[in-house]
Structure 1
Amino acid sequence: MDDHPERHPSAAYTVELPRHPRPIVIIGTGGIVKDAHLPAYRKAGYPVWGLVNRTIARAQALADEYGIEHVFGTVAEAVAAAPSDAVYDIALMPEQYADALEALPDGAAVLIQKPLGHTLEQGVALRDLCRRKGLIAAVNTQLRFAPYVAEARRLIAAGTIGELYDLEIRVQVDTPWHLFPHVFGLERLEINMHSVHYLDLVRSFLGDPDGVSAVTLPHPEKHEVANTRSTILLRYRDRPLRVTVSTNHDHAFGPEHEESYIKWEGTRGAIRAQMGLLLDYPTGGPDALELILLDEKEKGWQDVPFEGSWFPDAFIGSMGAVQRFVEGSVPDLPTSVDDVLHTMAVVEAAYTSQEREGVEASVPVDEATGR
């Protein structure tokens, strides 16, 4: 049990800031930058040196709001003027990553928005590009760093709930897709753009699965979005683990039965984290973290204190992991492109499983009767 990966989390998952924060150049100024990146970096005291966006007026408005001195219309212009120790923060759509990465200085540190491409093939190409340029490259899979996840990770590593045997992620909400017009027309939506968070989170605790089974389906009347409901099973051959990710973004029946949680069950207890952000997104509902121990079962579920939320605090951790690795204060970078490419392999396996449609259930024909 002590050899299981969840008992030995990377030092980069600890809630600590870099000792010497480097200047940040953010490439792209869409909603995620306004709602998460910039609020997170301001809260952490990370210096944002410049913004890049082809619509300069949009970038300038954010620069004025956050007191950012430099604004550029192209990545090349920003690179030409940026400090040599800048960390680049790419907040674009996957089809734009390659051009942005090519424009960076060789050997630069960069944080790339998730997912790492629309397909595994694209992810491999991006990894190879990063290797060719010698980039210190990570992917912004920030759910790994959400405050309630960080506290759950600490408790599980300490053995508080014993041996982990069940990990369930459940999301049943009414997602306002109109807030994300860039996803309209994508062939792959739910798993690649949303459940990728949960598959990546599972890997950050348990490592790579041995097998993946999945169903992902569209809503019969929402033709502008490809797939909006998924069930994914991850198999770990040598462990009695049940790992499930179940999402339904079409639950339009009111908040009474909406759900958004991560639940870890172990031989000594269980932990449940409520991801409030997804309840009434983007306003969000309350976050919560609860713990129950079998030998104190009469006390029921107890609140576990933590500070912050997924937005914006998890973005402090994902950028912090890159900066701490670059400065040498942590020995590894768990969200490196090389690691997150394995998450993309799980995503690809899920879509392949959907295409194969599972194992047919059939009753053998009675040869005597022909029925």
Structure 2
Amino acid sequence: MLDAYASIAETIDTAIAPEHRLPVAIVGAGAIVDVAHLPAYRTAGLEVRGLFDLDAERAKDVAGRHGVPNVYASLDELLHDNAVRVVDIAVAPQAQPDIALRALHAGKHLVCQKPFVPDEETGRKIIEVADRLGLKIVVNQQMRYDEGIAAARAMVEAGWIGEPTTLSFTVNIATDWTPWPWLVRSDRLEIMYHSIHYLDAIRSVFGDPVQVFCTGSRTPGQVAAGETRTISTLVFPGDVRAVVHATHENRTGDSEATFRIDGSGGSIKGTIGLLYDYPHGRPDTLEVNSLSLPTDGWLPYPVTRRWIPDAFAGPIGSLLRAVADGSEPYPSARDNLGTIRLVDRLYASMDSGHSMPMK
């Protein structure tokens, strides 16, 4: 089993080769940059030349604590820094498309956050500009790179559980949305800004569904305007299915954040440690029960990295490799339009009360 696990660990390694590293600048100095982007990039050996935020004092504080040498006075100053090859945009989603276009026209490769764009048409326009200019865009759907998720996907691809049949996420937690006032006001909430992680992870394992159904609701007395409880069902070709059941109004303190993949020859199950004590979290867990290895029951896989901050090195590392060898980053902006389309169809189902085809 040690040899088998070594092959999985090698497959999901997110180390960035020194020859692939390029100078990076970050737009935004919010909490996620502070606790995830910058720590992950430092561990990966990346050079962060500077950052810009509309709140200059916040930018100076974050830069100072992480040893970032420059705080740009404006977005234009950042974009005119010819030494910067990659711009990581970490701002509220509504501001991202305009900044992305400006950065592309300045000749920068991009790391964009999820949701990449508000709609497919906007995404296609940004991708067309990037293609015309010969630039790469990766979307920071970093749950694909969470070690537990990535290892589970690698086990599926290696055939450890035979033909996969079902993938489920069950998340029952308490989420305080108030640190992000724009999220509290959003009428599109849980699917767009949280379950999008699980939906993208499902796509990374099963590809695109052919039909979806979603129901969402609010809890009496909740602060947020949008839906905070959702059930999403995804139908794939043949007999493959997936479901995401997410609740953010858990008022009893017994958090749950689990996933499971079943197949004809075994199963994989795990926990998402970050969500048990967010933002501090605890290590993920992962177990596999395989007839083909065999495992003689459930066997733990040694998860050593965490979603935050470690998985944040994955997308940018993929972008840097793509710049070096001309490949597509993972997930590319073009691929991520599939996740945006899925989110759109789930909301259409939620609004109509009917299942929706993906075409």
Q: Secondary structure at the match of 1:338?
A: helix
Aligned to 1:161: 161
Report the structure number with the largest CA radius of gyration.
Answer: 1
For residues 13 and 304 of structure 1, do their structure 2 counterparts lie closer, same or farther at Cα, with a shift above 3 Å needed? Answer: closer
For residues 132 and 218 of structure 1, do their structure 2 counterparts lie closer, same or farther at Cα, with a shift above 3 Å needed? Answer: farther
**Alpha-carbon distance in 2 for matches of 1:297, 1:326:** 40
**1:290-322 CA deviation, whole Å, 9 max, x = no partner?**
111247899432210122110011101111111
Aligned to 1:348: 344
- Note if contact 2:270-2:284 (Cα within 8 Å) is conserved in structure 1: yes
**1:235-280 CA deviation, whole Å, 9 max, x = no partner?**
113x21121011011111122xx21012111112111121011112
User: Aligned Cα RMSD in Å?
Assistant: 2.3
For residues 233 and 45 of structure 1, do their structure 2 counterparts lie closer, same or farther at Cα, with a shift above 3 Å needed? Answer: same
Counterpart mapping for 1:26-175 below 5 A: 26-83=26-83, 86-106=85-105, 107-131=107-131, 133-175=133-175
**Alpha-carbon distance in 2 for matches of 1:12, 1:212:** 31
**Alpha-carbon distance in 2 for matches of 1:324, 1:12:** 15
**Alpha-carbon distance in 2 for matches of 1:295, 1:320:** 33
Q: Shift of residue 13 of structure 1?
A: 5.5
- Note if contact 2:97-2:117 (Cα within 8 Å) is conserved in structure 1: no
**Alpha-carbon distance in 1 for matches of 2:31, 2:121:** 27
- Note if contact 2:289-2:295 (Cα within 8 Å) is conserved in structure 1: no
User: 29-38 vs 155-164, which deviates more?
Assistant: 155-164
> Which structure 2 segments of 5+ residues have no match?
1-7
For residues 101 and 14 of structure 1, do their structure 2 counterparts lie closer, same or farther at Cα, with a shift above 3 Å needed? Answer: same
- Note if contact 1:12-1:332 (Cα within 8 Å) is conserved in structure 2: no
**Alpha-carbon distance in 1 for matches of 2:195, 2:80:** 37
- Note if contact 2:267-2:289 (Cα within 8 Å) is conserved in structure 1: yes
Instruction: Compute the TM-score of the two structures, normalised by the length of structure 1.
Output: 0.87
**Is 1:301 aligned to residue 274 of structure 2?**
no
Count of residues paired in the alignment: 345
Aligned to 1:369: none
Aligned to 1:287: 284
In the TM superposition, structure 1's runs of 4+ consecutive aligned residues that sit over 6 Å from their partners are 295-298
Q: Secondary structure at the match of 1:35?
A: helix
Identify the match of residue 333 of structure 1 among 304, 329, 334: 329
Aligned to 1:227: 227
- Note if contact 2:160-2:291 (Cα within 8 Å) is conserved in structure 1: no
For residues 51 and 82 of structure 1, do their structure 2 counterparts lie closer, same or farther at Cα, with a shift above 3 Å needed? Answer: farther
- Note if contact 1:109-1:135 (Cα within 8 Å) is conserved in structure 2: yes
Give the residue type in structure 2 aligned to 1:246: H
- Note if contact 2:284-2:303 (Cα within 8 Å) is conserved in structure 1: no
**1:19-53 CA deviation, whole Å, 9 max, x = no partner?**
42111101000011001001111111111111111
Q: Secondary structure at the match of 1:184?
A: helix
Instruction: Compute the TM-score of the two structures, normalised by the length of structure 2.
Output: 0.89
- Note if contact 1:23-1:48 (Cα within 8 Å) is conserved in structure 2: yes
Q: Secondary structure at the match of 1:263?
A: strand
> Which structure 1 segments of 5+ residues have no match?
1-8, 360-371
Q: Shift of residue 18 of structure 1?
A: 3.2
